[in-house]
Amino acid sequence: MPDLVIRDCGPRDGLQPLAPIDASLRAELATRLLSAGLSQVEVAAFVSPKAVPSMAGAADVVAALGDDPRLWGLVPNVRGAELALGSGLRQLTVTVSASETYSIKNIQMSTAESLEEFGRIRAIASDATLDVVVSCCFGSPFETIAPSLVAELVGVLRETGADQITLADTTGTATPARLGPVLDRVGTDVGLHLHDTRGTALTNAFAAHGMGVRRFDTSLGGLGGSPFAPGAGGNLATEDLVLLFEDLGISTGIDLDALLETGRWLAEVLGHPLPSRVSAAGPLNPVAP
Ligand code: MG
């Protein structure tokens, strides 16, 4: 068993701000990630194709991949949850935001409304695993976010039936100093969804692991970012996390060479290099005896 659970959100968060690519290519990306050893891949978002054109055809992506408990899909509301469940998915990430303004821009609901919506999703998705991904836990371009507010929100979500909680640093404002006060209040049985806007994502993952966190969201190549938060920046790159943690003797279960090969394939599909540093520089040599 690997020491960490890594969920690659590349086919969803990674591709979401980019020009749309075919559902079959998004499914192929997911297949390649699973073959490289990812135990979880977020493959689709069941959102309005008008709002996020690159996520159109979510059900086609799931249909191409078949029934697989390693696959996750993002849902912002009951309608999205109905579509995701209809596609056969049983692992759903549900969006709630600690930032009121971001919540309205992203999902057209206040935070309180989205908590009520989560209750309705829980009711229709009784046989699904729901991971509530709380946006803007460490800051927001729109408001200051108090750690106590995040803790209160997480408490309500746990009471309302969240199976898992993931704290998202949507706009890359977390630092090791800012992670501590939030993790102290919510505990370390959470996932972290990190963005690298200010170059702190890998440092934050390292620090959070030291504090006891064992679940991380990443994106192949460091692609990604919210279209609804100015300067969101890419996700923590999967290959950067794998290189560092494997070098530390922390098993990820992921084959770095296979990941890098998938990154080369994706760069060719997209027609531009990926932001990941390890993707650009390649793996480390073995340690000298
Ligand atoms: Mg994200």
The Å distance, Cα 192 to ligand 1 centre, comes to 10
What's the DSSP call for residue 249? T
What's the DSSP call for residue 284? P
The Å distance, Cα 74 to ligand 1 centre, comes to 11
The Å distance, Cα 285 to ligand 1 centre, comes to 31
Q: Is 106 a member of any domain?
A: yes
Three-state SS at 230: coil
Mean pLDDT across 219-239: 85
Q: What is the pLDDT of residue 233?
A: 79
The Å distance, Cα 288 to ligand 1 centre, comes to 38
Question: Where does the pLDDT of residue 232 fall: very low under 50, low under 70, confident under 90, or very high at 90 and above?
Answer: low
Q: Is 284 a member of any domain?
A: no
**281 phi/psi in degrees, rounded to 5:** -95, -20
Beta bridge partners of 272: none
The Å distance, Cα 14 to ligand 1 centre, comes to 8
Mean pLDDT across 265-281: 95
pLDDT at 226 exceeding the cut of 80: no
Question: Where does the pLDDT of residue 225 fall: very low under 50, low under 70, confident under 90, or very high at 90 and above?
Answer: confident
Q: Is 235 a member of any domain?
A: yes
Q: Is 286 a member of any domain?
A: no
User: Who has greater pLDDT, 107 or 32?
Assistant: 32
Structurally, the chain folds into a number of domains equal to 1
Q: What is the pLDDT of residue 72?
A: 98
Q: Is 287 a member of any domain?
A: no
User: Taking the mean position of all CA atoms in its chain, how far away is CA 72?
Assistant: 10
Q: Is 228 a member of any domain?
A: yes
Mean pLDDT across 17-33: 97
| pLDDT tens-digit readout, 155-205 | 999 999 999 999 999 999 999 999 999 999 999 999 999 999 999 999 999
Three-state SS at 39: coil
Q: How far is CA 186 from CA 102, 152, 208, in A?
A: 21, 9, 13
The Å distance, Cα 210 to ligand 1 centre, comes to 22
The Å distance, Cα 79 to ligand 1 centre, comes to 21
The Å distance, Cα 250 to ligand 1 centre, comes to 24
To the nearest whole percent, how much of the chain has pLDDT over 70?
98
To the nearest whole percent, how much of the chain has pLDDT over 90?
94
Average pLDDT, the chain: 96
The Å distance, Cα 110 to ligand 1 centre, comes to 19
Q: Is 288 a member of any domain?
A: no
The Å distance, Cα 236 to ligand 1 centre, comes to 9
pTM, full prediction = 0.96
The Å distance, Cα 289 to ligand 1 centre, comes to 40
b/e string for 240-266 if b means 16 or more Cβ within 10 A? bbbbbbbeeebebbbbbeebbebbeeb
**184 phi/psi in degrees, rounded to 5:** -55, -35
Question: Where does the pLDDT of residue 289 fall: very low under 50, low under 70, confident under 90, or very high at 90 and above?
Answer: confident
The Å distance, Cα 9 to ligand 1 centre, comes to 8
| Nearest to 136, CA basis, from 147, 127, 128 | 147
Q: How many residues does the chain have?
A: 289
The Å distance, Cα 92 to ligand 1 centre, comes to 15
The Å distance, Cα 193 to ligand 1 centre, comes to 7
Q: What is the pLDDT of residue 287?
A: 86
Mean pLDDT across 254-280: 96
Q: What is the pLDDT of residue 231?
A: 61
The Å distance, Cα 13 to ligand 1 centre, comes to 5
Cα separation, 190 vs 133, in Å, equals 10
- DSSP letters, 58-73, are HHHHHHHH-S-TTEEE
The Å distance, Cα 63 to ligand 1 centre, comes to 24
User: Residue for token digits 């998705």?
Assistant: 125
The Å distance, Cα 130 to ligand 1 centre, comes to 17
Q: Is 79 a member of any domain?
A: yes
The Å distance, Cα 53 to ligand 1 centre, comes to 16
CATH code, domain with 139 = 3.20.20.70
The Å distance, Cα 106 to ligand 1 centre, comes to 12
Cα separation, 189 vs 176, in Å, equals 17
Mean pLDDT across 233-241: 95
Could you tell me the residue range of the domain that residue 173 belongs to?
A: 5-278
Three-state SS at 102: helix
The Å distance, Cα 111 to ligand 1 centre, comes to 18
Question: Where does the pLDDT of residue 63 fall: very low under 50, low under 70, confident under 90, or very high at 90 and above?
Answer: very high
Q: Which helix (H) or strand (E) holds 267?
A: helix 256-270
